[in-house]
Copies of this chain bind each other. A is one copy, B any other.
Amino acid sequence: MVAPHPFDTVRESEVRLASKLVKDSHPASANVHFVQIDKLDPPKNDMKKYLEIERTGGKLPSIPRVLYAYYYTEETVFNKALVNVTVGHVITKTQLPKGVCGPLLPDDLNEWEVYCNNHPAVLAEIEKLKLPAGYSVRNDPWIYATDDINEKRPLCQFFMYVAAGNGHSESNHYSLPLKFSPVFECFTKKFIRMDYLPGGFDATLVPTQPWQEVRCVEYHPDLNGEDTTARDVKPLLITQPEGPSFTVDGSKVKWQGWEFRIATTAREGFAVYNVSFKGRQVFYRISLSEMTVPYGDPRAPYHRKQAFDLGDCGFGTNGNHLALGCDCLGVIKYMDGVGIHANGEPYVIPNTVCMHEQDNGLLYKHVNYRTGNSVLARKREFVVQTIATVANYEYIINLKFVTDGSIDIETRATGILSTMPIDENVRVPWGTIVGPNVMAAYHQHILSFRIDPSIDGHKNTVVYDDALKMPKDELNPFGIGFVSDRHYVEKAGHVDQSPFTNRTYKIINENVINPISKTPVGYKVEVPPRQMILADKDSFNVKRAKFATEAVWVTKYRDHELFAAGEFTNQSKSDTGLGVWANGVDDVRNEDLVLWATLGFTHIPRVEDFPVMPVETHNIHLQPVNFFDRNPALDLPQSNNAFNKSSLFESNKTSSSSGCCKTNL
């Protein structure tokens, strides 16, 4: 088997070796319990040389593959090791301070879920429900989050639900939330306490009562009572009889002038590396960096509902097994992820990333009205998709490469709302009633995308341009003039949002001037203006996720600074990421820098979002700005029906529509 490329996904053999070396470095009595093992990114300075030789030819230097391992010893002692799996030795082993917790492992969650449901304290509460036959109790283990600076135990909160559907495995328990919620210590499985959930308009709690029968809002076709034939949906087939336009060689993908490498990762889902278009470097690395989901219901224990879907549980670890004709249409290339068991044994997460081409309407068109002749090209996109299920909720991340040199970073939120019990005839100002006696609290989804640019090289600058009206003077007598006003980001920090001056963020290379515009080459980063985190600036929600307070951040590049809220988010008390790195001190102009784009959306649930939510879609757009000397898509073949083979709707068969656009080609 050929040696892996430095950017390749971690291999099972590498995980196996790393976990063995780590276990061997501890006495058996330590009971090494792994929670995450993955590859560390290679040092950028080494990779710059490597990639240059790769480009120009010559003997490639050997860059050791280094893995990190997060694991517990003595049940609650959290450790991190770095392992060189190329030569096979443990580089460092660190015992982390008490109170620092690692990400949760799916195996553990499944085990704890069963344990919780059978714990005497929980059984006692279930007893009080006096559930009728055909009903059972389920629980979702939930991130405990933070409300006490002194809490140092790794804890887990369990939200309890009734499962109806006469034992049908897919019955929607999220429709039937219960009012008690036990807290356990992880690993030791110590019962900490029983929390109770309010059902009224305030924080008042009541002891567990016999369960009142209420209709369960089901999503599964077996149970939802819908007639799926009523819509008469006809197939719409997407085929590529001559095969796709892309090639994949290991981690290397080539499509329509785009070239990049891709790796799946435990924490991010996937990352793309060394992205170039038409032979020019544009981005060194693009990935989802972190996501926080704070809830707006102020009542205990809901005030602790703040998930970090990457840091707390691993977006890749929770990646879906994508399936042909379901998650992806067309000719599909799949990539696998790698997960681990607590003993350090790896397993394959099949098809966690899918890649395919799609048509997205027109890319450009012009008709010469004098002759009626037109030029037009279709907008073809190459989509890299991953989907993660984090308990109740699904996130779809699509990285779309476009034939005009732009990249669209798309997030789709779907799945099932996190629900709370609510009493009959009660309404609350922080949530929507989405079903009988079930409430979905207002919350925010705040994602951070890490964009590590290499616009014609690694020395880049972030600028922002405002469109400003000109003063009314002799040059502008009619008061209609406006200009673009440029500002340079000199120090690591953030840029304020300013939609009403049309503020546009750009990454430019001041060392490369566009021969046409006579201005530095660059890429625009279109981040939609959004409400940022609503929580009080002194709240734990904000202290733990500084990235959620601003839309655009710039930091100086440093190896291993990948995660916007810091390396360890589970029960974190403070942000060790952007809050630290955006220090106002580092020079970032004409430097190797990183731009962090925060994509926030405040989610006020609709009844239509239940029992399963139609996608809410949000995009960040990367677009060349005065990077090329003209439209880089002029070389696309003209669109015509000999190529696209579309057909007429019956009643049109006799119409005047020609099979091709008028052109003089």
Contacts and interface: CB of A to CB of B under 8 A. Distances in A.
A664 interface: yes
Contact of A631 (B379, B502, B541, B613): B613
A628 interface: yes
Given A365-B396, A499-B530, A606-B624, A637 B228 contact: yes
A361 B243 contact: no
Given A234-B242, A499-B499, A641 B324 contact: yes
Q: Is the interface of A mostly helix, strand, loop or mixed?
A: loop
Contact of A615 (B330, B333, B364, B514): B364
A651 interface: yes
A130 B632 CA distance: 34
B650 A243 contact: yes
Interface in A495-515: 497, 499-502, 504, 514
Contacts of A236: 238-240, 330, 357-359, 380, 644
Contacts of A203: 475
Given A233-B380, A635-B230, A435 B242 contact: no
A147 B477 CA distance: 10
A120 interface: no
Contact of A329 (B248, B357, B378, B432): B378
A482 B614 contact: no
Interface stretch (A95-103, A589-597, A653-661): A653-661
B652 A628 contact: no
A237 B648 CA distance: 14
Complex copy number for this chain:
2
A646 interface: yes
A296 B483 contact: yes
Contacts of A318: 369
A262 B265 CA distance: 49
A325 B435 contact: no
Given A333-B649, A434-B516, A517-B433, A478 B303 contact: yes
Contact of A326 (B412, B478, B518, B661): B661
Interface stretch (A24-32, A398-406, A570-578): A398-406
Contacts of A327: 362, 365, 376, 661
A170 interface: yes
Given A378-B329, A637-B228, A657-B323, A607 B516 contact: yes
A487 interface: no
B228 A635 contact: yes
Interface string A205-242: 00000000000010111101011111111111111111
B369 A531 contact: no
B333 A661 contact: no
Nearest to A405: B608
A327 B433 CA distance: 44
Given A324-B658, A482-B534, A661-B327, A412 B361 contact: yes
Contacts of A432: 517, 626
Contacts of A306: 480
A251 interface: no
A333 B648 CA distance: 6
A268 interface: no
A628 B607 CA distance: 7
Given A303-B480, A481-B430, A248 B639 contact: no
Interface string A289-322: 0000011111100010010000000000010111
A476 B539 CA distance: 11
A55 interface: no
B331 A480 contact: no
A280 to B, nearest CB: 13
Given A217-B630, A329-B646, A609-B631, A531 B517 contact: no
A539 to B, nearest CB: 4
A579 interface: no
A332 B497 CA distance: 42
A351 B656 contact: yes
Contact of A636 (B228, B469, B475, B517): B228
A531 B476 contact: no
B237 A480 contact: no
A43 B541 CA distance: 55
Interface stretch (A61-69, A178-186, A386-394): A386-394
A465 interface: yes
Nearest to A231: B256
Interface in A442-468: 442, 465, 467-468
Nearest to A645: B237
Interface in A319-370: 320-334, 336, 348, 350-351, 355-359, 361-370
Given A240-B235, A657-B350, A363 B641 contact: no
9 contacts: A170-B373, A222-B664, A234-B242, A236-B380, A238-B646, A239-B647, A303-B481, A334-B655, A608-B632
Given A295-B480, A324-B660, 11 more contacts: A203-B475, A217-B630, A324-B646, A326-B639, A330-B646, A331-B646, A331-B649, A334-B655, A469-B536, A528-B528, A608-B630
